[in-house]
Every structure is written in structure tokens, then in C-alpha cells.
Chain A
């Protein structure tokens, strides 16, 4: 059943995340409507990947909560897809492109069951959408960076989700792949899907994204690109760290302090 369109695709409330006690995201609050292509931008170490990883439940939260379609992640897991960074896996793994795309069907298959013929059909169809159908039986170790990214994208498509979180899908890909991906994202958004993308290249932000989240360990701004992606906000996002904030973070780690007082 499709979620009601007026429910936000994503709500993040007072989210704080720490590594080794040092906070890398401070008190993030944001709401993302459905059907948008959303870019997360910010300098290195701003916590862009951390934000989507913590939304996907891959990192423990120090405080706050996230909701997808006004529900908790576990209740809507099948509607959410996550595309990790390409470099996060070892591409020398003994698997073919088809094997990887079929993993996109695993959430629907659940445990113990093996992919069926119909799942292969879906996987092949998704490979076609990213222009990789000719590579279905190719070993993944033989793929170029762009082809690896397309393979990951095809796997995400095979999940047939409503919200997609992508960690740097445009990093280190060729121009043709970049074009394929953005075209695909636009088609997805037109059919009501929400796509949230960690992005590095500021040049293409206004062109690619309807909505932008500007991050630098804290939320600078989140809103429609036209109003949000302004000179002042860019200045604030990239214009150096808040030194005091960073120092306090370091202090918390050094002194082994809990980030939040434990409530009894």
C-alpha cells in the first residue's frame, strides 16, 4: 500500500550521533517531503554519511529519533533502500553482477528462501534501467568504478522501495554513468519516490536536487534548493568549523564523559 502523500518521507528529530563518544552530529532536526530528490552537502567530516547511516539504523544514536512515513524504520523496512559507498565492499568477492543485484530481492524473500525465476526477471529489468543488462554474468572484479556504482543502483532498484538513501553515488564515476544515474533519479522522483543522496560536487547541486540538506556537524539548513542553497548558507556550511563546538566534542571524548545524562 502506498503511503499517504502528505506524510513526510523522513523526519529526523533532535538526532545526535557520536563516534568514540565524540559527537559528529549535533541535534539534527529536519523533515523531508515525499517525491523529492534531496542532496546532502557539506565539507569532509561534516557527518553526511553518518546522517544516512544512523537513519538506516547502522549506527547507535546518542539522542533523538528518526521516522520514515511517520513510522519507525523496522515497520517500514521494505519501503526503504540503502546504497552504501562503493568502496565499502571488496569488489574482488566471488560474485557476478546478477548475484549482487539479486541481493536487492533478499528483503522481500526474507531468510532461508532462495531467489526465484521472478526475482531474476526483476533483477534483469533493473540492470536494463541502469544500462548494464549486457553485464549480468560479468564478474564484479572486472567492473569499472561507474559500472560498480550502476550495479549497486540496480540492486537498490530491485528492492522496489519508496525511499532511497545513497551514499555518494556520483563519486568517481564517468560522465555517462553520472548522466544515467541522474536521469534515473528524476524518473524515480516523478513516480513519487524520494531519493536522498550524499553529494560532493557543489556545481551540480542546483541542477540535480529539488531539496538540499546543508550539514557541517550541525544542520545549517534544509529546504527547497532554490531558497536554501544560498551564498550565506554556503558560507556558513563551508566557512570553517565552529572551533568551540569541535573543542567541546574533543573534550567529551578525552574526559570519557557521557554525552547525555542517564535518566533513571
Chain B
């Protein structure tokens, strides 16, 4: 644990640079990325990331050195140019946006690689390190890099803070934003500039190829956990910051490990965890919920069988053998036993020896299900003119689903009818 203490003391300025740089970068691009995600333009980040490479090379050719300012300006220019080309292709030809992005991305990146190769072969000594832009150099961040990161992160934060309401409105309903006279074009321009800015800075840490991941993945992960846009933005930046911190730490304890790719692996893991475990939207939650529904349906069906048998014998509390239930409704014996045991635990049935009977509560619950079933059949034949021999299957599902409010409404609309379409009595609770 020594390394942990040493890492988090931030005594080593090198650690400080790497950690601060990674966190600033990931957190701020996650914030901008949230709006890209909500605008359903996730791919655009990838296009920009690839398109900045020729700009960087061009900057180097013009300046002759790796002057960061010139490189950034170059990156900014080609990043923007790629967007303009995408929009132009989209507007003026029949090619759709996704295809246009694919085209622009590969053409710009291809030119970038070409220029990079030429520069590397040119024998210019100061070119070494230019290829860092391909895969990032988070572990080698220095003080001056950090300063640039800080400035850009601040710009991103302030602009998003000031224009939060506007960006959210545009992501939700652009036509409306336009109709109330908001400068939609200018706002889009600002948001896109922010993305370009985030990408230009971000690729220095994680590189061209992985940039799209730190832009979009935090937002995609955050979306699973919340339905509030403010929370989503905060969560996305927290996920981003955490992955930045963890990535830096991993490459600190295992120096062979690269920081940038680890940042991406961590944020991807967060996304996977969100995908599986998030409440409501997560896969596991949905599985559990489906299982609960299946159990409810099984429980109620068995109660219903006992109730219907009781109707025939004019006594609801006769103790019955499993086979009697199975004759009415097909079950594996073991399945039926586990359903009955569950009902026993819930207090809806009683067991004497290997015989089972309804309790008073069980009878009431079963009666409600049967009542809804028959009411729904009647509703379908009365209001929807469906033939009586077609309504049973529908009612089999609806009987487990209806809320008490809808149940009351159904009773009222049908005037508390006495008989269902098959001339069977509809049982009401207070009879």
C-alpha cells in the first residue's frame, strides 16, 4: 500500500502533472461529450479526433518546431474543416451523415498519417515525439501542458455553465429553440468549437484513436443512472475524473502500463457496470423485474385454479392434492410445489400433509384476479365487439396487470355486470 500513499501524497511533481492533467482532461471532455451524446452526434467526436492529425503535422511544417500553440491552432483548423466538409456533403449530396463522417474521418486521417510519415523521414531532429498525438503521452505530461489543459478546461466549464439552459434546449427541441428566436446557429457553432477544443487538448493525453471514448463513454454510462440532465453532466464528469485518476495510478504502479489506454479501459468498465447494474435501465434490474412478473403470474394462476375448483364445489377451502391442480392447469410437479411453497410463505395457502387449500386472504386475492379476468372479457366483447371465444387469452394477461384504479374504472364502465360473456358469474368482493 506504500505506492498508494506515495501516489496520493502527490509529492512528486511528475505525479501531480499526470494526475491533474488526466483528471482535468477527462472530466471536462465528459461534460462537453454529454451534449454531443444528447444531440445524438456521438460519431462527430471521432471524426474531429482523426481530422486534427493533418492539422498538427501542418502546424509542425509551418513552425518547424513542436511549438504547442501552433500545433493546437493547426489542429483546431483541420478539426473544424472536417465538420464543415461533413455538413457540406450531408447537405449538398444524397450521402447521409454517418457515411459522410466515415468518409471524412478516413480521408483526413489518411492525409495526416501521410504527412506524419513524410516528416519522420525528413530527418528533422525536432520531429521526435510528434507521433505522441497518435496514442497520447499522458504519462509524460509536463508543467506547461498542464497549464494549457487548465485554461481549456476552464473555458469548457465556464461556457457550459453559462449556456447550460441553451445547450439543453437545443438538444431536446431545436425547432422550438429557433422558434423563440434563440441564435441556434451561433450556439451550435459554440458547442462544436468546445468539442474541437476538448479533442485538440485530449489527444495529447490519450491520442487520436481513443479520444472518442473519453468524450462519449462517460455520458453513455451516466445516462443509465439518472433522468436529470444536471445530474447526468455531473455524473459523467465524475466518471471521467475517476477514470483519469485510476489510469494515472495504474501507470504509476506499473510503469510499463500506458496511462491513456488505461483511462479508456476504466471508463469502459464503468460503462459496462452501468449497463448491467444501473437501477431501472440496467440489464440485471430488468431481469429481476421480469422474474418478479413471472412469479406474480405463476402465483396468481395457481390461486386462480384453487378458486375455480372451489367455485365448482361451492367451497373454497377444500384441501386438495397437487394432481387436482395439475389436471386444471399444466405444471411440472416440482414447479408447482415451489409456487405453492412461495404462496405458503406469503400466507395465501395452507398445507396439511400433502394437501393444499386457500386461506381467506388467498381466496380474496384469487377472487380479484378472476373478477378482473371476467370483467375484461366482458369489456372486450361489449366495447370492442370481439367474439366471446377470442377474449380469453387477452384476459389471461390483463388479470395480472390491472391497477386498482383501472379495476374500479372497469367495474364502473361495465355497471358492475353480473355475468361475463360465457355466462359465468363475476365475483365481487362484498357479496
Chain A residues at the B interface, C-beta cutoff of 8 Å: 53, 56-58, 74, 77, 80-82, 84, 88-90, 93-96, 99-100, 103, 106-107, 109, 111-112, 114-115, 139, 141, 155, 159
Is the interface on chain B under 10, 10 to 19, 20 to 34, or 35 or more residues?
20 to 34
* Complexed CA–CA distance, A103 and B177 (Å): 9
* Complexed CA–CA distance, A88 and B176 (Å): 10
Q: Are A88 and B175 in contact (CB-based, < 8 A)?
A: yes
- Residue of A with least CB distance to B183: A111
Q: Are A94 and B179 in contact (CB-based, < 8 A)?
A: no
How far, in Å, is B34 (CB) from chain A's closest CB?
10
Set of chain B residues within 8 Å of A114, measured between Cβ atoms: 165
Among the listed A56, A74, A94, A112, which residue makes an inter-chain contact with B228, where contact means beta carbons less than 8 Å apart?
A94
16 further interface pairs, Cβ-Cβ under 8 Å (given A99-B229, A159-B180): A58-B175, A82-B175, A84-B179, A88-B173, A93-B38, A94-B223, A94-B227, A94-B228, A95-B168, A106-B180, A106-B182, A107-B180, A111-B163, A111-B182, A114-B165, A141-B227
Set of chain A residues within 8 Å of B176, measured between Cβ atoms: 82, 84, 103, 155
How far, in Å, is A21 (CB) from chain B's closest CB?
12
Interface centre among B162, B163, B227 (most CB of A within 10 A): B227
* Complexed CA–CA distance, A58 and B134 (Å): 41
Chain B residues at the A interface, C-beta cutoff of 8 Å: 38, 40, 162-163, 165-166, 168-169, 171-173, 175-176, 178-183, 223, 226-229, 232
Q: Are B229 and A94 in contact (CB-based, < 8 A)?
A: yes
Q: Are B181 and A107 in contact (CB-based, < 8 A)?
A: yes
Query: Which 4 pairs across A and B sit closest by C-beta, in order of nearness?
Result: A82-B179, A107-B180, A77-B181, A139-B227
* Complexed CA–CA distance, A139 and B232 (Å): 14
* Complexed CA–CA distance, A165 and B70 (Å): 50
* Complexed CA–CA distance, A96 and B176 (Å): 17
Q: Are A94 and B166 in contact (CB-based, < 8 A)?
A: no
Among the listed A57, A77, A95, A111, which residue makes an inter-chain contact with B172, where contact means beta carbons less than 8 Å apart?
A95
Q: Are B169 and A56 in contact (CB-based, < 8 A)?
A: no
Set of chain A residues within 8 Å of B182, measured between Cβ atoms: 106, 111
How far, in Å, is A73 (CB) from chain B's closest CB?
8
Interface centre among B162, B166, B171, B172 (most CB of A within 10 A): B172
- Residue of A with least CB distance to B231: A94
Q: Are A74 and B172 in contact (CB-based, < 8 A)?
A: no
Among the listed B165, B169, B171, B178, which residue makes an inter-chain contact with A57, where contact means beta carbons less than 8 Å apart?
B178
- Residue of B with least CB distance to A111: B166
Q: Are A94 and B173 in contact (CB-based, < 8 A)?
A: no
